[in-house]
Amino acid sequence: MKEYILEKSNRKGKRYMIIMSDKMTHHFGSDVGQTFIDHQDEKKKKAWIARHRLDKNFYNKHSGIHHSWKLLWTEPTLKEAINKYEKENKVKIKSIINQ
């Protein structure tokens, strides 16, 4: 099983980064503002998805917007989002983030 590492981003303006087993790194999430895992507001979640779902790489697992969607805008907590992501992608995520 592939293992990904999720940690705080070292890139200015980004909140997290995910390091995939093929050594690809994707920085995602704004370090300002809130996401669904912060506010659990379904109306804001639907608006965010509607605004971004037509972005070029929204469905591409090798993009930051995809990881924002899957890890920050699908479930009410990061832990739940990680569990769902692991099942959907048959991977294990080692999180180095205080949840």
Helix ranges, the chain (H): 36-39, 42-52, 64-72, 78-89
User: Where are the chain's structural domains?
Assistant: 2-95
Q: Which of 89, 92, 30 is nearest to 60 (CA)?
A: 89
pTM score, whole prediction? 0.92
Question: What tokens does 77 get?
Answer: 């907590």
Q: What is the mean pLDDT of each run of 10 residues along the chain (99 residues)?
A: 94 96 90 96 98 96 96 97 97 86
In this predicted structure, what is the pLDDT of residue 97? 83
